[in-house]
Structure 1
Amino acid sequence: MANAPTIAVIDYHKGNLSSVARGLARAGAEALVTDDPTQIRTADALVLPGVGSFYDAIAFMHESGQDEAVLDAVRGGAGVPFLGICLGLQLLFERGDEGVPTDGAAVESTEPYGAGLAPGTVFEAEGRRWARGLGLLHGSCTVLPSRRLKVPHVGWDQVHLTHSGSGHPLLQGFAEGTNVYFTHSYAVDTDIDTSDAVALTHYARNFASVVSRGNLYGCQFHPEKSSAHGHQILENFVELARLSKGLE
């Protein structure tokens, strides 16, 4: 396909990624589902879908070398565009506690977010165990409280644009209060940089449902399951990849 960017859909062996790949193809990309770090490094853009737990996903990525491939491809703000979906958004951040083993060795970290530790490292800080994420964005991923509402959060819910979300290139054609499809128990916490949040959702607590910094983008919802609004997100990301590659 002329002017079609090659977008690697990163496979960390935790689910069927075909719906994401099909959505990207319909949006005009050459979608490549791959677990190969070399193909991840050389793609025009990256998509990290979300299936499984924070710890299991980041541990597999570290053991397979996918983490370093992603970091090599996106670091510095001048790298290729990256879109994290659901868990993929969460893995952009510094730490998460989903699925972290409660027994076995853990690093005692003097830095609460595990700075300097390899992705997937289990460490103790602030009286609890965490797994180190990719560390590309600041903050934590924690479970949604379930005092009144059922968790996991499954179904259609609204996203509300922040000031930086209005006119954001990933959200072109995306109206305030749009309903999209969620299925998750964990979300980014309130310790993230507020400037990274371009849309918010409230379920059990407020959380960033779309994040962005430089060439990094993330959606807590599933665009591939969100009908026309989700397809618009994928089209916008493909356009960002096309522009990044100079395929106008």
Structure 2
Amino acid sequence: MRTDTGYAPAVDIIDAAGGNTGSVYRALERLGVNYNKVNKDNQPDGSRPIILPGVGSFGTVMSRLRQGDLDSRLVSLVKSGVPFLGICVGLQVLFEESEESPGIAGLGLLPGKVRRFTEGKVPQIGWNRVESTRPELQDSYPDGYVYFVNSFVAEPEKAFEKEIVLYRGQYYRSFCAAVLKDNVTAFQFHPEKSGEFGMSLLSSWLNQFVLEVAS
């Protein structure tokens, strides 16, 4: 993946949970994208799109983001228009709060709360189908099968649901599987572990946001 000038695009990856960071690195390398690791000591400067991957608890990720006020820096950059991609817990912390970690506020970039699955075997582990809720984006984000590992799901406020939700899945009930709002995109599933279909979703995001910034 190259820009028109021949340079490989680059992204910042926030190491706040670490659970699936290595697999994200490998996926980006496969796609020819450079990455810069950022944390509380080496914070993003806004010159590159940001990816927040993570497997773990809502509270743990938010605690690590609050070290060195990285959470405030992230909110400021996203509000200024810097493209953002969240994966797994990286989606959940975009919302206001989670039943997983009562009393701990999320980033609050999207309206809504994170709820625990109350039906079926929890956590949901394995492949499941997701269906796009945005017909105008079907070419970039078509229906397909992806890999999940999650006990909690985001529930956007009803008034904003149609403009936020990108994918829905079924696990004993319908649930939000991905969001896209302006410069904010996030997947509850793991695109980097979802085979060729998952790689195509990462490519769609990179083509939409990363190459646009780099060109």
Do the two structures share a fold, i.e. TM-score over 0.5?
yes
State the partner residue of 1:65: 69
Residue 133 of structure 1, aligned match among 96, 106, 123: 106
Aligned length: 209
Aligned to 2:129: 158
Does residue 83 of structure 1 match 2:50? Answer: no
Q: Which moved more, 1:85-94 or 1:237-246?
A: 237-246
Q: Which ranges in structure 2 are unaligned for 5 or more consecutive residues?
A: none
Distance in 2 (alpha carbons) for counterparts of 1:74 and 1:196: 15
- Please state how far the C-alpha of 1:25 moved relative to its aligned partner: 2.4
The correspondence of residues 1-248 of structure 1 with structure 2, limited to 5 A, is 2-36=6-40, 38-76=42-80, 79-100=81-102, 122=103, 131-146=104-119, 149-162=120-133, 165-168=134-137, 172-176=139-143, 178-189=144-155, 191=157, 193-194=160-161, 195-247=163-215
Which ranges in structure 1 are unaligned for 5 or more consecutive residues?
A: 101-121, 123-130
**Percent of matched pairs sharing the same residue:** 33
| Partner Cα separation in structure 2 for residue 218 and residue 9 of structure 1 | 14
CA distance in 2, matches of 1:16, 1:137: 23
Retained in 2: the 8 A contact 1:51–1:87?
A: yes
Q: CA RMSD in A?
A: 2.0
Q: Which of 1 and 2 has greater Rg?
A: 1
Relative to 1, partners in 2 of residues 1:201 and 1:188: Cα closer, same or farther, differing over 3 Å? same
Q: Shift of the alpha carbon at 1:174?
A: 4.0
1:135 counterpart letter in structure 2: G
Contact 1:48 1:83 in 2 (8 A): yes
Deviation track 1:174-225 (CA, whole Å, cap 9, x = no partner) reads: 433x110000000012635212011101113321111011000010100000
Contact 1:144 1:187 in 2 (8 A): yes
Secondary structure, in 3 states, of the residue corresponding to 2:96? strand
Q: Which amino acid is the alignment partner of residue 101 of structure 2?
A: G
Rate the CA distance shift 1:240–1:190 in 2: closer, same or farther, 3 A: closer
Give the secondary-structure state (helix, strand or coil) at the position aligned to 1:133: coil
Q: CA deviation at 1:46?
A: 0.5
Greater shift in the superposed pair: 149-158 or 43-52:
43-52
Residue identity in the other structure for 2:111: H
User: Under a length normalisation based on structure 2, what TM-score does the superposition of the two structures give?
Assistant: 0.88
Change (3 A) 1:62 1:226: same
